């Protein structure tokens, strides 16, 4: 299949070709025709699947035919959880819409609001926004939604994790009821489906990858190491393997700062990116990482959400995430678009339960390694998935019960408990 067969106008096909793409990804092939038809969708797509172009291209195509946005009005609203992701999406909108007479803008917190208000005065066809800054602008009458045609919720699962649910509900109340709704999420959790009930109408559901799976193109390893030796081990791995571009995940902002300083002290160019950094500092660090001025970017999960780098070769979990699904999101930043990648986790004995939960989630034992001079004082226990299953012991039948009657069938309380458990599982 080619982009030519999806029904996109020539202006967009030229822009796609200039970006170097010839064939649509699975999410693009499925989503683009549906969005062009004006239908609502719920799409489950991991980071790096091409979902941004999957909704940007058809939205731009549909906007070509309508009335241009008037002063302070918006025709398409794209809500995202982080500043970095908002900037990334807006960049895609500009790249794909370069041949179209459409206006776009991006608004988020951490920077002055007045320039954003001035941008909105002329009206924008596509507005990319974080929820908090959008509410600020609405309260100051800088943005209105009378002309709104489409609402896009991107990374909906992360927005719920970050506590944006109340902001999203407030924003939805301001919007026209007649609109197209596009919801994108890494997973369709019960909370996401609950949110979707009041948002999308008869949606087409699209899923391009099994839930909580890792890409086959990503090689995964665990390096066993004591907690106190993680930093020098990371330095050794970077230098001995000559890693040029490494995204490292830290569980805390302070930990990210500390690790960055330690790496720099050992001659490795590193930068930290997290919520305590100003927007300018975050943008600068990401740009330096992309163009090779910085070899190692140390990030927290939330700050890394908008990082989109082609052919990122290495991802390192300096700390394992407490939420197993975040492991899948983290390592999904390498091995994209058919490229190979490597995901390395530095794991100490205290993190064994987190490792065990991750392996259970991805249904895979992650191979373990040790490096000479960094052998852990307390080795990790064997993986739970490696343990042989215990054969079921035959139960001795109770005396005095009739053939075909389950033992204990007459005990109402145990039967009730069993039924309750079964009902819970079936739900």
Chain-centroid distance of CA 257 in Å reads: 23
Residue ranges of E strands in 213-317: 218-224, 246-249, 270-273, 296-299, 314-317
Q: Comparing C-alpha atoms, which of 187, 195, 185, 190 is closest to residue 212?
A: 187
Tell me the longest C-alpha to C-alpha distance in the chain.
86
Q: Which alpha helices (H) appear in 37-179, and where do they start and end? A: 51-63, 83-96, 114-121, 131-139, 156-161, 165-174
Ranges 229-238, 355-364, 415-424, most confident: 229-238
The confidence score (pLDDT) of residue 84 equals 83
Rounded average pLDDT over 205-211 = 70
pTM of the model: 0.62
What is the β-pairing status of strands 314-317 and 218-224?
A: unpaired
Exposure string over 189-198, b if 16+ CB within 10 A, otherwise e: beebeebbee
236-240, 263-267, 362-366: least confidently modelled range: 362-366
pLDDT tens-digit series, residues 287-320: 898 888 999 999 887 666 656 666 688 999 999 9
The mean predicted confidence, pLDDT, of the chain is: 84
pLDDT at 286: 85
Dihedral in degrees, nearest 10, Cα atoms 274, 84, 355, 340? -130
DSSP assignment, residue 147?
T
**Does 427 score more than 50 pLDDT?**
no
By mean pLDDT, which of 234-238, 342-346, 404-408 is the weakest? 404-408
420 pLDDT more than 60: no
- For 24-34, how does the pLDDT look when each residue is reduced to its tens digit (9 = 90+)? 888 899 999 99
Examine the pLDDT at 215 and tell me if it is beyond 80: no
Rounded CA-CA distance 224/91 in Å is 40
Share above pLDDT 70 across residues of the chain, in percent, rounded to a whole number:
84
For residue 369, pLDDT over 90 is answered with yes
């Amino acid at each position: 299949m080619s982009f030519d067969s999806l029904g996109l106008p020539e202006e967009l096909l030229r822009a796609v070709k200039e970006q170097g793409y010839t064939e649509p990804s699975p999410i693009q092939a499925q989503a683009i025709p549906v969005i062009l038809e004006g239908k609502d969708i719920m799409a489950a797509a991991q980071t790096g699947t091409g979902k941004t172009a999957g909704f940007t291209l058809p939205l731009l195509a549909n906007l070509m035919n309508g009335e241009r946005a008037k002063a302070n009005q918006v025709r398409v609203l794209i809500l995202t959880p982080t500043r970095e992701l908002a900037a990334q999406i807006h960049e895609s909108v500009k790249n794909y819409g370069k041949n179209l007479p459409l206006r776009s803008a991006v608004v988020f917190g951490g920077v002055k609001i007045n320039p954003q208000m001035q941008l909105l005065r002329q009206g924008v066809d596509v507005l990319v926004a974080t929820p908090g800054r959008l509410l600020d602008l609405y309260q100051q009458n800088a943005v209105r939604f009378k002309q709104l045609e489409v609402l896009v919720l991107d990374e909906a699962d992360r927005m719920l994790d970050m506590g944006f649910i109340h902001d999203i509900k407030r924003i939805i109340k301001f919007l026209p009821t007649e609109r197209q709704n596009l919801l994108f999420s890494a997973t369709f959790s019960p909370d996401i489906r609950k949110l979707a009930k009041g948002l999308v109408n008869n949606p087409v559901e699209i899923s391009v990858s099994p839930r909580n799976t890792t890409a086959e193109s990503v090689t995964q390893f665990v390096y066993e190491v004591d907690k106190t030796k993680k930093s020098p081990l990371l330095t050794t791995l970077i230098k001995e393997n000559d890693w040029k571009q490494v995204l490292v995940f830290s569980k805390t902002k302070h930990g990210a700062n500390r690790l960055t300083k330690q790496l720099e002290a050992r001659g490795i160019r590193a930068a930290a990116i997290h919520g305590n950094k100003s927007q300018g500092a975050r943008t600068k660090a990401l740009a330096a990482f992309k163009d090779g001025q910085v070899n190692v970017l140390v990030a927290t999960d939330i700050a890394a959400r908008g990082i989109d780098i082609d052919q990122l070769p290495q991802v390192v979990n300096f700390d394992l995430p407490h939420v197993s699904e975040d492991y899948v999101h983290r390592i999904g930043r390498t091995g994209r678009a058919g490229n190979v990648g490597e995901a390395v986790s530095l794991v100490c004995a205290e993190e064994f339960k987190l490792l065990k939960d991750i392996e259970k989630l991805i249904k895979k034992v992650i191979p373990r390694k040790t490096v000479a001079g960094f052998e852990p004082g307390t080795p990790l226990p064997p993986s739970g998935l490696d343990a042989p299953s215990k054969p079921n012991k035959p139960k001795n039948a109770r005396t005095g019960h009739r053939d075909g009657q389950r033992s204990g069938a007459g005990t109402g309380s145990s039967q009730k408990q069993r039924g309750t458990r079964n009902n819970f599982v079936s739900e």
